Amino acid sequence: MGDNTFLAGQQHWLERLGNLRNVVRQELVARQLSAHLSARPLTVLDVGAGQGTQALRLARAGHVVTAVEPDPRMRAVFTEDAAALDEEDRARVSLVDADLAGLSDATRGTAYDVVLCHGVLMYLPESRAAVAALAARLAPGGLLSIVTRNGDAMAWRPAVRHDWPAAQAMLDEQRRAAQEGRDALYRNEIGVDARADSLASLHRNLEAAGLHVDAWYGIRVASDDVPLDAATPGPEELSVLLEVEERLGSTDPYRALGTLVHVLARAPRRTP
């Protein structure tokens, strides 16, 4: 599946965790995901768990979470944040040193009700093998949640910033990628060269892995143009912003403009 290029921008990522852009991202992912989870305790595998934002939320909600993260620095941040959980919630979280290539060994063949892969695919050279590996860890009827860069809307961010040359460059890259039969490439805002997935390519890869797409959402439709260091506003303003973003992210035509796309797909249920 190739090397994950995230490491080069890791410091920038960690420095911006509390900023508006990341708060919006994490909150929308949590809201969109929760709409597809049952109330009963579920087994969750979070692949590329990073600092553990979603894994720890799910543990607080009563789910049993196995978090897979290959980088020691990210695991250290995860462990530090997990220490803030109460004892019962902390007991529901396991942190494993592994990556996509080592999933089978790390999970020892376990099948999970929910598999998460958020913010990982854009740092891999292609998605198909990764999607297949993730799908293989799902129990019958299990749910796969993928968050990645929206390759259909790459020019939207520079356009709303009125950076016309950058918007043109993104449109040119999308056209070249389509002509060459490959995914579009870009330089992201933590300074790393990355890759984007179109919604159509994600559908194809998920279907090839035997999964059916339940739903998809856009993330950061209206607030992606803020500066990288924009602070999170007060509770009242943030609440309204999140409500607007949540509605835009689930409504056509706006959701197609999300900088990130969140796709939820389900494995077939076992027939009696």
> What's the CATH number where 58 sits?
3.40.50.150
In a domain, 155, yes or no: no
pTM for this one?
0.94
In a domain, 177, yes or no: no
Cα Rg, the chain, nearest whole Å: 18
Q: Output the six-digit token pair for 88.
A: 């019962």
In a domain, 225, yes or no: yes
The conformation of residue 258, written as its DSSP 8-state character, comes to -
The conformation of residue 14, written as its DSSP 8-state character, comes to H
In a domain, 228, yes or no: yes
In a domain, 179, yes or no: no
Q: Output the six-digit token pair for 21.
A: 């852009």
In a domain, 40, yes or no: yes
The pLDDT of residue 1? 40
In a domain, 154, yes or no: no
Determine the length of the chain: 272
**Residue (of 249, 215, 272, 261) closest to 117 by Cα position:** 261
| Alpha carbon 201 to chain centroid, angstroms | 16
Residue 132 structural domain: 5-149+188-266
**Total number of domains constituting the chain:** 1
Q: What are phi and psi of 62, to 5 degrees?
A: 105, 5
pLDDT by residue for the chain (272 residues), tens only, comes to 445 667 666 776 777 778 999 999 999 999 999 999 988 999 999 999 999 999 999 999 999 999 999 999 999 999 999 999 999 999 999 999 998 888 888 888 899 999 999 999 999 999 999 999 999 999 999 999 999 999 999 999 999 999 999 999 999 999 999 999 999 999 988 888 999 999 999 999 999 999 999 999 999 999 999 888 899 999 999 999 999 999 999 999 999 999 999 999 999 997 66
Neighbours of 70 (CB within 10 A): 20
d(CA 145, CA 116): 5
In a domain, 211, yes or no: yes
